[in-house]
Amino acid sequence: MKKLHPYFKEEQRFNQLWLKLILYGSTLAALGPLYYGTIMQIGNGQPWGNKPISNTGLLIMDLLITLLMAGILYLVFGTKLITIIKPDGIHIIFKPFLIKEKIIEPHTIESYEVKKYKPVADYGGWGVKQGRKGKVYNANGNIGLQLLLKGNKRLLIGTQRPEAIKRAMEKLMNNNG
C-alpha cells in the first residue's frame, strides 16, 4: 500500500498556565501536609492529629493519594491531540480519550473555515466535547478548523497553526473534487 504523505501534522497538549497552577497547586496541597504528617509520626515518633492512624495506614494512604495525584497529572499532561491531514482525509488522534483514530473523509465535508471560538462558552472547555455548536476536539487555545459535515453535523478541531491548516485543507479539498 502506498504511503500517504501528510499535508499537515500538529500535536497539541494541555499546557495552559492556569491549568498547571491548579493541578500542581492541588497536588502540593494534598501531598504536602500528608508527607509532613508521615515524617512527624513515623520519622519523629510524634502521633499526627487527634486520632492518629497507624503507621501502616498512614503509609498506605501516602501511597494511594500519591498514585491518585500522579494519575491525574499523567492523564491531563499526557493527553495529546494529533491532527494529520493527508490525501485520504483528516486524521484525529486524541490519546487517551479516543481509542481508535477518527478519519474524516473529504467527501463528507460540506464546508470548512478556520476561525476563532470560545472554548468554554461554545463547548464547555477543552478536550473531547459535545457542545451547543457541535463536537470539538481541542487541547489549547481558541482557534480551530470548523467543519460542516454532511447531515448538518459540525466538528471543530483546535489548532495552533491556523494558516498551515487552512493551506492543507485547500489542498485536500482541491485534490478530492
Q: How many CB atoms neighbour CB 23 within 10 A?
A: 16
**Structure confidence at residue 76 (pLDDT):** 80
Mean pLDDT score, 53-61: 93
pLDDT tens string 97-111: 777 899 999 999 999
C-alpha 174, offset from chain centre: 31
Name all contacts of 19-25 with Cβ < 8 Å and 24+ positions apart.
Answer: 19/76, 23/72, 23/73, 23/76, 23/77, 24/73
Q: Tell me: cis bond preceding 96? Omega within 30 of 0 counts.
A: yes
pLDDT tens string 7-45: 999 999 877 777 789 889 999 999 999 999 999 999 998
Helices (H) and strands (E) in the chain, counts: 4, 9
